[in-house]
A and B are shown apart, each in its own frame.
Chain A
């Protein structure tokens, strides 16, 4: 079965420092991977996706993610964290058998960026 794992419940970073939020995947066939962010009392917002092509994917708000096939990872990164990046981050994999985009989400990682 297709799944993703987020090994860290929480990541703490100082503002201005680089951040990494980890995600590993387990899929049969080609992986279609996504990152979403959730701010308090809001729905999830799409950040970026990997479908094919370049292993480094750039997304919204200065975030990027690196697809690594040999390590089955898709870690989310940002060169310089902002306090406003503090939120809950979800990695997801597409598991649809139909035409829609049914996603299985990871358990989420709470990112806290402090001054």
Chain B
């Protein structure tokens, strides 16, 4: 079964540094998402992306965050200048409208654990 893959599995960075988290969504999916989960707590929406532009974003997704689909397969999340509070598990997800239109299930990757020191 196709999977969403994320790299790296764990990223350690110093405060103020830029990080790029990478994701390869399922190939025939058209909607892409980033969520984050702090210390096994609630899963929070960051951003959704469709047709090469941001579809929706949350208040968390401020100017320090950006997303990009640099080629036909990768979907990246960049944090420009990391803060301690950015430490979390970041999950990429994708969905296929053929599985239920706007209510299509999200397929999640296994996440990247970001640790900011």
Interface residues, chain A, with chain B CB atoms under 8 Å away:
32, 34, 36, 41-46, 49, 51, 88, 90, 94, 96-108
Contact = CB atoms under 8 A, between A and B. Distances in A.
B72 interface: no
B103 A105 contact: no
Nearest to A42: B110
Contacts of A102: 33, 45, 48, 56
Contacts of B91: 43-44
Interface of B: 4, 31, 33, 40-45, 48, 50, 55-56, 91, 93, 95, 97, 100, 102-111
B62 to A, nearest CB: 17
Contacts of A41: 110-111
Given A98-B48, A99-B50, A46 B56 contact: no
Given A42-B110, A94-B102, A101 B31 contact: yes
Contacts of A34: 105
Nearest to B51: A99
A97 B41 contact: no
Nearest to B58: A102
Given A42-B111, A51-B103, A97-B56, 13 more contacts: A43-B91, A43-B110, A44-B93, A44-B108, A45-B108, A46-B106, A94-B103, A98-B50, A98-B56, A99-B97, A101-B105, A106-B42, A107-B42
